Amino acid sequence: MLKLTTRNLFTVAFTLCLSIALFSQTHAASKMIDRIVAIVDLTVITQSELDDRVGKIVSRSQAANVNLPSTHVLQGQVLDQLILETLQINTARRYGAEATDQEVAAAINTILQQRKWREEQLLEELKNTGETINEFQESMRKQVTMQNIAQGVVSSRIKISEQDIDNFLTSADAKFWISPDFHLGHILVAVPQSADTQTIDASLEKANSIYEATSKGVNFAEVAIAQSNGPAALEGGDLGWRKTTDLPTLFAEIAPTLAIGEVSKPARSQAGFHILKLYNKRGETKQIVTQTKARHILIKTSEIMSNEQAEAKLKEIRNDLLNNDADFAEKTKEYSDDIASKLSGGDLGWSNPGQFVPAFEKVMQELPIGEISEPFLSQFGWHILQVEGRRDEDLTQNVIRNRARSLLINRRFEDEVQVWLQEMKDDAFIEIKI
């Protein structure tokens, strides 16, 4: 008696279904049925798909004057690529992560912007390569779908600890990465090594005169060309974009203290007196936010509590708080429907901008400290709100750590994608027919 394994049963069932499907199609005797080159779970890859992909790679390589391996080797590589794509597309379908029309349109628009093309230029390029716009759109849909599923599945597999972030932030790599970029102009009034006091004083006087003039709007570049002894004098003293880690120590200390457009007072080094102008800066991570401490009372509407009743009740409570010296915390415990804050007297703690829904945020930002708002409506119900304080909080370290976490995830992403793809191949039913 023949013993059927799970794999055999799967193959028999699939082959039977495929045979029925093929048999039901009417073909002329002379017309060849497209050959199956691989089976991936319940999906087939056909010879025409393989030939089409190989043909496109050959065309691109010939246009770029790139030598390709033998046809046999190339077909094997392309077939492996098609198998991996099939696994990813099938997984995306199971998770509901297929690209939407809007995502496809956005991806195509990105390509146009990157290449600085108009739509007509894209269509002309597709015509030259023998690809229709519909084929291109479907190709982009596949690419975006694979990006979606890889981002969703793989990112969740990468675990970055606080210690990982600490280790990264102490590295030289991180110090360079965190460092902002400055676009500086430079004027040097040189002082000879053997200069006497009189010469030094004269050089300082000249530097101060240049500082006064450029601070009042005299063209910095023109002054640099005419009077600077610095290496970039003939370029108007323009040092270009530099990170603080790429600047001389003296410049690295001065640059962060300047506002855009500001000129620094003369600063002495062994070479002489330096004057800097900050043209622009980018990549600055410093982030100061105004936090607000507030408390509120919420009354939700329901079948037995209409909008009018909820608003009226809060007006009554507010009147009690303002005129009868009632206790806000006690009123919260008695009336508020916000379970999370009810037992703490409606206290919401210190919050950052954007933490609450817009209707709530607007009232909280506009309300003076100590005052109690009129009743107002949000998507959660009716509120009254009291602001207890505001403070400026430096969240720079939080921003830096979040950026570091994202960077470390990105560094591990590609490796983890390859591991994930190999795991899918190991778990899938794959049968190569050629």
Return the pLDDT at 96.
87
181: alpha, beta or left? (left if phi > 0; alpha if psi -120 to 50): beta
> Structural domain boundaries of the chain?
181-282, 288-394
DSSP conformation letters of 130-163: T--HHHHHHHHHHHHHHHHHHHHHHHHH----HH
CA end-to-end span of the chain, whole Å?
Answer: 30
Answer yes or no: same fold for 181-282 and 288-394.
Answer: yes
DSSP conformation letters of 300-348: ---SSS-HHHHHHHHHHHHHHHHHS---HHHHHHHH---HHHHTTTTEE
Question: Which residue stretches of 327-427 are H helix?
Answer: 328-335, 339-342, 358-366, 396-427
What's the topology of domain 181-282?
Answer: Chitinase A; domain 3 (3.10.50)
Burial 151-166 (b: 16+ CB within 10 A, else e): eebbeeeeebeeeebe
Return the pLDDT at 285.
67
Does 3.30.470.20 match the CATH number of domain 288-394? no
Q: What is the mean pLDDT of each run of 10 residues along the chain (434 residues)?
A: 38 39 39 81 94 88 86 92 95 90 91 91 87 92 93 89 92 81 95 93 96 96 95 94 87 93 96 96 81 96 93 96 93 93 94 91 95 95 96 85 88 91 94 90
CB atoms under 10 Å from CB of 145, counted, come to: 22
- CA 331/CA 346 separation, integer angstroms: 9
- CA 24/CA 161 separation, integer angstroms: 57
Return the pLDDT at 175.
76
Sheet holding 347-351: strands in order across? 347-351, 288-299, 381-394, 376-378
Return the pLDDT at 295.
97
Return the pLDDT at 30.
35
